[in-house]
């Protein structure tokens, strides 16, 4: 229950959306427009489903390596 409350809190959702948008900005500046658009769409969904945003960030970090 504690994890559900943490992931559902307004602060966690806001932080997730902001961090996904930062990743989208980095992708756009790096010339990866398709990835940037996909991340913007994920940021919109991340407000409702925080885990989706966290998973997307993990995938982006793996792809960046």
**Residue-by-residue pLDDT tens, the chain, 65 positions:** 666 666 667 888 888 889 889 989 999 999 999 989 998 998 888 888 888 888 888 888 887 77
Positive/negative CA dihedral, 6, 7, 9, 10: positive
pLDDT at 63: 79
The range of the structural domain enclosing residue 30 comes to 2-64
Provide the pLDDT for residue 11: 82
Question: Rounded to the nearest 10 degrees, what angle do helices 10-29 and 50-64 cross at?
Answer: 30
Total number of domains constituting the chain? 1
- The residues, any chain, with a CB within 8 Å of residue 13's CB and separated by 6 or more, are 46, 47, 50
Report yes or no on whether pTM surpasses 0.85. Answer: no
pLDDT value at residue 3: 61
């Amino acid at each position: 229950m504690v994890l559900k409350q943490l992931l559902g809190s307004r602060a966690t959702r806001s932080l997730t959306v902001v961090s996904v948008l930062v990743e989208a900005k980095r992708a756009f500046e790096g010339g990866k427009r398709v990835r940037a658009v996909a991340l913007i769409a994920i940021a919109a969904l991340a407000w409702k489903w925080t885990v989706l945003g966290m998973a997307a960030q993990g995938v982006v970090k793996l792809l960046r390596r």
